[in-house]
Amino acid sequence: MTKRVVVTDHAFKNLKHEEAMAHDLGVTLSVFQCTDELETAAAVRGADVVVTNFAPITRSVLSILAKNATVIRYGIGYDNVDVASATEFGITVANVPDYGVETVANHAAACVLSLTRRLSTYTSLIRSNGWAKPGDVGDLPALSSLTVGFVGFGRIAQALHQRLRVFGFSFVAYDPVTPPTVQNAPDVKSVSLDELARLSNIVSLHAPSNELTKGMIGREFLALVPTGALIINTARGALIDTDALIVSLEEGRVGGAALDVTEPEPLQLHSRLREMPNVILTPHAAFYDDMSIDRLQLMASQEAARALRGEALRSPVNRPTMIQAED
């Protein structure tokens, strides 16, 4: 029987790498734009490989895949995939952890510089008042007087650190998973999460979304940050308690935010964040440029090819006990 690859959803200009992979291996490729569980289940029934972006890969969806199937996430995070159920069913889950590190770091750096230099606030003042004085945005501290706190210090945070070093920032990081990485950066001090809140004028988020991290940037954390602190999120929207952030912005405890991801996503049309001149909003686009997208699709297609050939995967995130196919 011809093996089947399903792309559940995507936002790409074309699927040339996926199509080439399917042609080379003689498998069928089906492409959908699933948004909910029912659509996804209907699309993937019996699939040998599922490549997904944001479609919900739930327990019920996983239960109807082919035996020893593989699920590949377009990107780094995989919180839309029920990994525990996949492992139970003998399904391997893989991601593409390193396709766009430089792109996301560039986006985060742009957010840091835009917020610290009050670019959006100046723009808002000029548009509404015709012009503005430099001091109309309030205090504007020198970058060398500010501390950046990294919540998570993996590949992207490390790349962001390298970009920001030239501006003279000081650095701290909280990363209970990979503390040796923090220690290997001599100008990054490893601290607790509370210490990071107290010390950081700029908080940049680089943690995955899971039960331990959801809402970690909430009322208690935001009560500890220095007045005027800035929040940058290019990781996952669920890391931030959105209501607590809005209150902190309105009270002036937080001086601004750059949010590439939100909870929920898309951001509600009535959200007060949309009207704040000190908030930068981008549509989960930190990963996006022409080169990184091409690399993402190529690497996901290569991983799919390895799965179809029965080869070891490059980036598995679980290690299921394989279920032997019936004779």
Where do the structural domains in the chain lie, given as residue ranges? Answer: 4-99+290-309, 101-281
CA 211 to chain centre: 16
Q: With cut-offs at 50, 70 and 90, classify the pLDDT of residue 1.
A: confident
Query: β-strands 28-31, 92-94: how paired?
Result: unpaired
pLDDT of residue 54: 94
Which residue of the set 155, 206, 236, 303 is catalytic? 236
Position 124 pLDDT exceeds 50: yes
CA 147 to chain centre: 23
The question of whether 127 is a catalytic residue gets the answer no
Which fold would CATH assign to domain 4-99+290-309? Answer: Rossmann fold (3.40.50)
The question of whether 303 is a catalytic residue gets the answer no
For the CA atoms of 195, 101, 79, 34, the dihedral, rounded to the nearest 10 degrees, stands at 150
Fold agreement (4-99+290-309, 101-281)? yes
pTM: 0.89
The question of whether 295 is a catalytic residue gets the answer no
pLDDT of residue 182: 63
Which residue of the set 73, 155, 206, 284 is catalytic? 284
pLDDT of residue 176: 85
Q: With cut-offs at 50, 70 and 90, classify the pLDDT of residue 185.
A: confident
Which residue of the set 88, 265, 272, 306 is catalytic? 265
pLDDT tens column, 279-306: 999 999 999 999 999 999 999 999 999 9
CATH among 3.90.1150.10, 3.30.470.20, 3.40.50.720, 3.30.450.40 for 101-281:
3.40.50.720
Identify the CA nearest to 146 among candidates 187, 225, 223, 199.
199
Distance CA 135, CA 37 (A): 52
Q: With cut-offs at 50, 70 and 90, classify the pLDDT of residue 326.
A: very low
pLDDT tens column, 187-219: 999 999 999 999 999 999 999 999 899 999 999
Position 57 pLDDT exceeds 70: yes
pLDDT of residue 193: 97
